[in-house]
């Protein structure tokens, strides 16, 4: 079973739409959770960390459900510049390994 | 500020040829270092990670190897490339919090090396 699973999409949404991505992780020992963004043919970059209480950064909201081993990312008022692949990432302190989902592709359409 | 350099950016190699990708980090000491591979249309696969000089952990069996000859230098190698080795190779670093032995949580990636094996 994969460490992290995501719906690959693609998600094609109009500008201004709200879109949600989901992710599940298999190892209950996972301690830290993140969303990374990867533009085409570029390296991934941290979008935001995900905290147990949920957290928001502008138009982006992340949620964590430890009981269900589930992480989500909500993007409100989508912009053209939000088009990218969004990667769900979990980290276990033992060995300091980061595990990536396959990513969810988002295209925001004018 | 910290920076990470990875090279070469692009390379095309014949099957059976050797490989050497190099990564260096500046502006930090004793970082955790990682090599990931991203095959076309697939997610990032962790290949190797290192918590110190000469300390290499391998995640998957393969014909690749990694070495860390210096604190901020990480090298990915192969003696004989396979077609299946084609992909986007990414070096990354993270910091270990000294007091709690936890990582800060963020991975910083190099710009990647795109390898095509023909």
Which of B48, B90, B105 to mutate: most A Cβ within 10 Å? B105
In this complex, the residue of B46, B105, B112 whose CB is nearest that of residue A97 is B46
* Residue B98 confidence (pLDDT): 44
Backbone angles phi, psi at B83, to 5 degrees: -55, -40
- Nearest C-alpha in B relative to A33: B105
Q: Which residues contact A100 (CB under 8 A, 6 or more apart)?
A: A4, A36, A44, A87, A88, A89, B36, B43, B44, B46
If you write DSSP's letter for every residue of B35-60 in order, what string do you get? EEEE-TTS-EEEEEEEEETTEEEESS
Which residues are within 8 A (CB) of B41 and not within 5 positions of it... i.e. 6 or more apart? none
Q: In this complex, is the C-beta atom of A105 within 8 Å of any C-beta atom belonging to chain B?
A: no
Cα–chain-centroid distance for residue A94? 22
Given this model, what pLDDT does residue B99 score? 46
Sign of the alpha-carbon torsion through A92, A75, A82, A8: positive
What is the structure's pLDDT at B96? 61
pLDDT tens for the 118 residues of chain B, in order: 889 999 999 999 999 999 999 999 999 888 889 999 998 777 888 899 898 899 998 877 678 999 999 999 999 999 999 999 999 999 999 876 544 555 556 889 999 999 999 9
Q: Which is more confidently placed, B60 or A95?
A: B60
- Average pLDDT score over chain A: 91
- Per the model's pLDDT, the better-predicted residue between A108 and B31 turns out to be A108
| Cβ contact A99–B103 (<8 Å) | no
What share of chain A has pLDDT > 70, as a percent?
96
Q: Give CA–CA dist A85/B100, Å, rounded.
A: 32
- Taking residues A88-95, what's their average pLDDT? 77
Q: How would residue A14 be classed by pLDDT, with cut points 50, 70 and 90? A: very high
Q: Which tokens belong to B116? A: 């095509």
Contact check, Cβ <8 Å, A44/B46: no
């Amino acid at each position: 079973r994969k460490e992290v699973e995501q719906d690959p999409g693609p998600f094609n949404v109009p500008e201004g739409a709200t879109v949600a991505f989901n992710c599940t992780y298999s190892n209950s020992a996972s301690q830290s959770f993140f969303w990374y963004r990867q533009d085409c043919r570029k390296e991934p970059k941290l979008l935001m960390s995900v905290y147990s209480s949920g957290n928001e950064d502008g138009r982006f909201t992340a949620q964590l459900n430890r009981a269900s081993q589930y992480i989500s990312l909500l993007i409100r008022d989508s912009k053209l510049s939000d088009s990218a692949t969004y990667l769900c990432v979990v980290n276990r302190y033992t060995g300091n390994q980061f595990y990536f989902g396959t990513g969810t592709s988002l295209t925001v359409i004018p | 500020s910290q920076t990470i350099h990875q090279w070469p950016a692009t390379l095309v190699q014949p099957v059976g040829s050797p490989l050497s990708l190099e990564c260096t980090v500046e502006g930090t000491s004793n970082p955790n270092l990682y090599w990931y591979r991203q095959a076309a249309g697939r997610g990032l696969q962790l290949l190797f990670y290192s918590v110190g000089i000469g300390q290499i952990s391998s995640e998957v069996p393969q014909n690749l190897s990694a070495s860390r000859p210096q604190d901020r230098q990480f090298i990915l190698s192969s003696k004989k490339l396979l077609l299946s080795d084609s992909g986007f190779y990414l070096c990354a670093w993270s910091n270990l919090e000294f007091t709690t032995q936890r990582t800060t949580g963020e991975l910083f990636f190099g710009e990647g090396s795109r390898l095509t094996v023909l």
